Structure 1
Amino acid sequence: MGSDTFWVLVAFVIFMAILAKYGAFSGIVAKLDSRGERIRSELEEARRLKEEAQKLVAEYRRKQHEAEAEAEAIITSAKAEAERLAAEAKTKLEDLIARRTKMAEQKIANAEAQALADVRAAAADAAVKAAEVVLAANVTGATADRLLDSAVAEVKSRLN
C-alpha cells in the first residue's frame, strides 16, 4: 500500500467518525427506518385489503350459489304447479265432457221417449178414427154411440 492511499484511508475513517459523532448517520438511519416502517404499514394495509376482498368475493359467490339454488327451486316449483294445473284442467275437461255426454244421452233418451209417446198417441188417434169409421158404418143409433165411447176410452187407456 502506498503512503497516499494510507492517508486517504485514515482521512476517510476520521471523516466518518466525525460524521457519526455529530449524528449525521442517525438522521439517515431514522429516515430509512421511517420509510421502512411506512412501507411495512402499506404492505400490511394491502394484505388487509386483499383479505377483505377475498372475503367479499367468497360472500358474493355464496350469495350467487344461494340465488341459483333459489331460482332452481322456483323453476322446479313452477313446473310442478304447471303440471298440477294441467292435470287439474284435464280432469275438469274430462268431467265436463262426461257430464255433457250424459246430458246429451239423456236428451236423446227423452226425445226417443217423447217420439214414442207421440207415435203411440198418433196410432191411438188413428185407431180411434178407424174404429169410429168401422163402427159408424156397421153399428147405428144409441148402441153405436155407447160402443164407440167405451172402445175409444179403452184404446186410449191401453196405449197411454
Structure 2
Amino acid sequence: MDATFWALIALIIFLALLAYLKVPAMLNGTLDKRAERIKNELDGARALREEAQQLLAEYQRKRKEAEQEAEEMVAAAKREAKIIVAEAKTKTEEYVTRRTALAEQKIAQAEQDAVNEVRARAVDVAVAAASSILADKVDGKVSGALFDNSLKEVKSKLN
C-alpha cells in the first residue's frame, strides 16, 4: 500500500463526502441562478435596446418632420420676400414716375412764368421807349393822351 493508493482512497472519500453533502447540486443551483440572472439581464438589455431603437426611429421621424417644416418655412419666407421685393419695386417705380411728372409740371410752370415775366418786361420796355419817343416828338397834351390810349391797348391785348 503505497502513497498513490492512499491518495486514491482519500479522493474517493472526498468525492463521496461532496456527493453526500450535495455540493454538486448546490453548485448546479448556484450556476442555474447565475445563468437565470444573466438571462434576465440579457432580456432586459434586449428590451432596452428595442426601446432605444424605437426612440431613435421616433426622433429621426420628428427630425425629418422638423427639417421638412423648416424647408417649408424657408420656402414661404422666400416667396414672401419675392412678393415684398416686387411690391417695393412697383411702388418705387410709381414714386419715381409721380416725382418725374411733378418735376416736369414744375419745370413747365417755371418756363411759363419766365415767358410771362419776359413778356411783361418787354411790354414795360416798349411802353417806356414809346413814351420816350412820343415825348420827344409830340407836345405834352397830345403825348399824354396817346400814351394813355397806347397803354390801354397794350393792357387789353395782354388780358
Please tell me the TM-score bracket, short chain as reference. 0.7 to 0.9
Segment of structure 1 superposing worse, 67-76 or 135-144: 135-144
- Number of equivalenced pairs: 145
CA offsets per residue over residues 40-78 of structure 1, 9 Å max, x none?
201211111111110121122012112211221222122
Alignment of 1:17-36 (within 5 A): 19=19, 23-36=22-35
Shifted more, 129-138 versus 69-78: the winner is 129-138
Unpaired runs of at least 5, structure 1: 1-11
Question: What residue number does 1:6 align with?
Answer: none
Q: Secondary structure at the match of 2:41?
A: helix
Question: CA shift at 1:140, angstroms?
Answer: 1.7
Letter in 1 for 2:76: S
Q: Where do 1:106-125 residues align within 5 Å?
A: 106-125=105-124
Distance 1:120 1:59 in 2: 90
The whole-number CA distance in structure 1 between the counterparts of 2:21 and 2:126 is 156
Unaligned runs of 5+ in 2: 1-11
Amino acid at match of 2:144: D
Q: Is residue 124–residue 156 contact of structure 1 (8 Å, CA) maintained in 2?
A: no
Quote the residue 2:157 is aligned against.
Answer: 158
Aligned partners of 1:123, 1:156: CA distance in 2, in Å? Answer: 13
Alignment match, 2:61: 62
> C-alpha offsets along residues 101-128 of structure 1, whole Å, 9 cap, x if unaligned?
1121011111111111012102211221
Structure 2 counterpart of 1:46: 45
CA RMSD of aligned residues (A): 2.4
1:147 alignment counterpart: 146
Give the letter aligned to residue 116 of structure 2: A
TM-superposed CA distance for 1:155, in Å, is 0.4
Identity of aligned residues (%): 49
Higher relative contact order (CA 8 A, sep 6+): 1
Q: Which amino acid aligns with 1:27?
A: M
Q: Please state how far the C-alpha of 1:92 moved relative to its aligned partner.
A: 2.2
CA distance in 1: counterparts of 2:142 and 2:32, whole angstroms: 154
* TM-score calculated relative to the size of structure 2: 0.77
Partner of 2:3: none
23-32 or 59-68, larger mean C-alpha shift? 23-32
TM-score by length of 1: 0.77
